[in-house]
Each structure stands twice: as structure tokens, then as C-alpha cells.
Amino acid sequence: MKEKTMETFTMDDGHHTFENWTNSSVGNKYNNLSAFLNEEDYQKSSIQSTVNVQEYDLVSVVCLTILLSVIIITTIAGNVFVLTAIVRERNLQTLSNYLVFSLAIADLMVACLVMPIGAQYEVMNQEWIFGSVMCEIWTSGDVLCCTASILHLVAIAIDRYCAVTNINYVQYRSAKKVGLMIVAVWCVSFIVSFAPILGWKDEEFLNRVQEDKKCLVSQDVAYQIFATCATFYVPLIIILILYWRIYQVVRKRIRHRPGHAIRPAALLPLVCAENVPNMAALNGSAKMTSGTKLRQKNRDNLESKRERKAAKTLAIITGVFVVCWLPFFVMALLMAICPTLIPDPRLFSLFLWLGYANSTLNPLIYTVFSPDFKKAFSKLFCGKSYPQRTRSSRQGCVSTVDTVF
């Protein structure tokens, strides 16, 4: 009886064990299969995501390359046209145009020496691969060319202001004085740009280049304050003051009424007499019959039109400069003062290239308001020829670089 019971227990236990083993084997196989399928799906989705990211990166790189290439080519072409026009056209070979010529050289250097390496740096996702020495050379060249471009705008503003406020300035302006202005601009630019090479760098410069693969100009606080003030903030204040004074003087002369004679040479030195209709009416030499409302109305309309044009021209000159460079220099100063401030790389690149774009726009801004430059460009592009102005007529107006209001 006991043996039977024991046998039954053994059989039942064996059956139970077999059943558990069977269920366990099936469960493990099922779990292994599910894990395999899940892993395969994960690999497929991972591969698909990688392909999508690569395609997105490729499209971004191509679009960025095209955009930066267009900016570089446009900058080179615009400044080459300005240089060619001044060299070929005798009407443009005036003292004030020496400043425009030097400005075009500075902007051309930005396009040829600074922008291409900057574009490569952006396409490589802001990863510097050329080493610390090349980084110092490139950043110094960047500061040199951009500073020279900005300071030339100050020199042009000073030249225009003197032409407006000093009646005899145009007659006594000499090549030596203009040359000294150009030399001063380049000397200040060299001092600001080569200071880091001479040792005025922050302690993290090498680590930033070699380990972080980031190429930035010296982030030393004292240097950044000195550089940003000399390169932008002081020039900005000077430009704003000078152009505001120019507008005030031009507005006053435009509104001058007959009865108070003004020497023709003193009237609107920025405008050549042959380009302004009814100049006689403006300088008081014309006789207006009292009570003639129509002629008074025409005069008022002409004054109002010329005031709006003067305001628009000066607003474009100063506005483009401020919009292009102000964001970058504000960020540059904040980064040096607050080292913990790490701006978005894309935002930093946008502000930097917005500043570079000022070199693209300068050829347009400083020539589009000049009839002589327009004629020179028409001759270059279309082969149109215009009669040369005589020496006496060219002496009657300030150089063609001066804005025609």
C-alpha cells in the first residue's frame, strides 16, 4: 500500500515537473522571439532615424554653403566694380573718392581673406581644425579688415561734415590730408587687431582652440572693452553725431528764403549744382513775384521733397551700419564680461555674418546716390558713354562720393 502511494506520488511529481519544464521552455522561446523582434524593429528605426538625420544635415550643409557663397561672391563683385569704376572714370578720381577706394579695398579683404575661412568654419559646425596659430592669424585678420571698414565710414562722415559746415573745405582739401586720414584708419586697425598676437589674450585661448575646437578672438575683458569701443561704439557715436549735424545744416539751407544771399559754393556742398533742378530758386538769386502762390507752393514742395530725401539717405547710411554691427558687438562685449554667458552658436553665427554683410552693402550704399557712379556702372555694364565733365564743373561740387540728397 505504501509502495503504491509512493509510486503515484512519483509519477505525479514527474508529470508536474514535465509540465513545468514544457511551459517554461515555451515561455522562454516566446520571450526570446519577442526580444529578437523588438531588437530588430529598434535597429530598423535607429537606422531610419540616422538616415533622416544625415539627409537633414546634408541639406542644411548644402543650403548653408550656397548662402555663404552668394554673400562672398556678391561682396567681391560689388567692391571690384567700385574699384574698377574709380580707376577707369576720370570723373570719379577725386579726393573724397580716395576714401571710398580705400573702403572698397578693406571690404574686398573681408570677402577674400576672412569670409571663406569663416564659411568653412560654419559648414564644419563651428569646429576649428587649423590649429591655434592659424586661429590667431585668422581672428587678427578678421578684426583688422572689419575695423578698417568701420573706421573708413567714420572718415567719410568726417569728410562730408567738413564739406557741409566749412565753405572753403572743398577748395583747400588736399591729397595729403585725405591720405593722412586713410593712414590713420589703417594704423588704428593694425593696433586693435595685432594686440592679441603680441600677448593680449585670455588664459583659456589655447584650451579653447585645442580642446573645444572653438576659434574666437581674445576674450580678455580689458581687450574686449578696448577693441569694441575702438572698433564700434566710439565710431558709432561719432557717425550718429556727424550725420545728425549734417542733416540739420542741410535742412537749414534747404529752407533758406530769398533775401538772405548765400554763396553758391556754400549751398548744399553734398550736391552738385548741375544735378539739382531750380538751384537758383534755392540760393535766393531768383526773383519771385510777390503774391505768386503757385511759385511759392512749388518752392515749398521742392524743399519738402529734398528734406525727405536727405533724411532718407542719412537714415539708410546710419541704419544699415547699426543693424549690421550692433547685435554682434553687444554679444561680443557681454561674452567677455560674463564668461558664464554661452550664446547659441547659431545666433552667434547669425550676428557675425550680419556684420560681414555690411561689407556687402557698403558698395551699394556709398555709390547708389551718386549720379557719376551710376553713369560709370552703366558704362561698365551696358557700354553707354557719357560726356566728361570739365574741370571747372567738377570743382563746383563736392566729389561724387558725397550723397546726393
Contacts of 329 by beta carbon, 8 Å cutoff, 6+ apart: 228, 231, 232, 233
Nearest in space to 383 (alpha carbons), one of 394, 375, 372: 375
Q: State pLDDT tens for residues 177-223.
A: 999 999 999 999 999 999 999 888 888 888 888 888 889 898 899 99
The answer, yes or no, to whether residue 67 has pLDDT greater than 60, is yes
Contacts of 62 by beta carbon, 8 Å cutoff, 6+ apart: none
Rounded Cα gap, residues 211 and 398, in angstroms: 55
Split at pLDDT 50, 70, 90, the class of 26 is: very low
Give the pLDDT of residue 350.
92
The proportion of the chain whose per-residue pLDDT surpasses 70, expressed as a percent, equals 67
Give the pLDDT of residue 352.
93
- Position 291, amino acid: G
Nearest in space to 106 (alpha carbons), one of 182, 217, 218, 191: 182
The answer, yes or no, to whether residue 48 has pLDDT greater than 60, is no
Top pLDDT among 124 and 255 is at: 124
Top pLDDT among 172 and 291 is at: 172
Nearest in space to 196 (alpha carbons), one of 219, 212, 213: 219
Residues 270, 398 contacting (CB under 8 angstroms):
yes
Phi, psi of 201 (to 5 degrees): -125, 160
For the chain, the farthest-separated pair of C-alpha atoms sits apart, in whole angstroms, at 150
The answer, yes or no, to whether residue 17 has pLDDT greater than 80, is no
The proportion of the chain whose per-residue pLDDT surpasses 90, expressed as a percent, equals 35
Top pLDDT among 246 and 35 is at: 246
Angle at 167 between CA 155 and CA 285, to 5 degrees: 135
Give the pLDDT of residue 171.
80
Q: Name the average pLDDT for the chain.
A: 75
Provide mean pLDDT across the span 72-88: 93
Top pLDDT among 151 and 45 is at: 151
The answer, yes or no, to whether residue 258 has pLDDT greater than 60, is no
The answer, yes or no, to whether residue 1 has pLDDT greater than 70, is no
Provide mean pLDDT across the span 290-309: 62
- Name the residue with cell 540739420: 248
Please return the burial class of 112, using the count of CB atoms within 10 Å of its CB with bins 0-12, 13-18 and 19+.
middle
Q: State pLDDT tens for residues 158-169.
A: 998 988 888 788
Q: State pLDDT tens for residues 307-323.
A: 667 677 778 888 899 99
- Name the residue with cell 561740387: 397
Q: State pLDDT tens for residues 365-399.
A: 888 777 888 888 888 777 655 555 544 344 433 33
Phi, psi of 342 (to 5 degrees): -115, 100
Provide mean pLDDT across the span 265-289: 40
- Position 21, amino acid: W
